[in-house]
Amino acid sequence: MTRLDNCRSCKAPVVWLTIRPGGRRMPIDPDPVDDGNIMADLNAAVGVVMSAETVAVLREDDSDEPLYRSHFATCPDARTWRRT
C-alpha cells in the first residue's frame, strides 16, 4: 500500500496520487467514502477523478469499488494551497 503522509497544514493523514490523465499529484483522504469521486489504485499511487454521472452509473451497477475524496475537500486550510 502507498505510504501515508501528513497534510502540511492540518496534519491529517493523506495519500498522494498521480491523477490520470494529466499526471498531476493530488492528496486524498486515505479512507474510502460513500460520496467519493476518485477511483484509486493505492498500490500504484494512481487515481482517476470521475464525474458525478460516472459515479452514479458505478453505484447503479452495485459496484463495491472503493471511492476516495480529495483532501482539498476536507482540509480546513485548503484555500492556502489553492492555485489561482
Domain ranges (residues) in the chain: 5-78
How many Cα neighbours within 13 Å face the side chain of 42? 16
Alpha-helical segments (H) within the chain: 52-60, 78-81
Q: What is the pTM of this model?
A: 0.85
pLDDT digits (tens, 9 = 90+) for 5-30: 999 999 999 999 999 999 999 999 99
pLDDT in tens, 43-82: 999 999 999 999 999 888 878 889 999 999 999 988 887 7
65-81: b (≥16 Cβ within 10 Å) or e: eebbbbbbebbeebeee
